[in-house]
Amino acid sequence: MEFVTWTTLATCAGALTMVLVITQLIKGIGFLKKVPTQLLSYILALLVLYPAYLFTGQLNATNAVLILFNGVIVALAANGGFAALKRSFPNLFK
């Protein structure tokens, strides 16, 4: 059983899950505290999507440009997803 593969990370759901988890793990560390969470999520989305497309043989000029836009979708979903969890379970995220 594999938890994460490059193929999984090249999907919206895979990239979203990884970005959400990594953002929440690192956003309060050192100098990253000063980086806006939305920007951090976008950078992480790019850092997940570009290698995922590269290692699955899908990275070409067209997809390289599309990743810039898909990164926005992943980052916004990651931030909105965590905000929704915080609203739904306020005692869990104090």
Q: Report domain extents, the chain.
A: 7-88
pTM: 0.85
Mind listing the pLDDT tens digit for each residue in 46-55? 999 999 999 9
For residue 4, the model assigns a pLDDT of: 93
Percent of the residues in the chain that have a pLDDT greater than 70, as a whole number: 99
Round to whole Å and give the CA distance between 7 and 76. 21
- pLDDT, one tens digit per residue, over 26-52 is 998 999 999 999 999 999 999 999 999
Inter-residue contact 27 to 36 (CB < 8 Å): no
Q: Are 45 and 62 in contact (CB under 8 A)?
A: no
Distance CA 33, CA 15 (A): 22
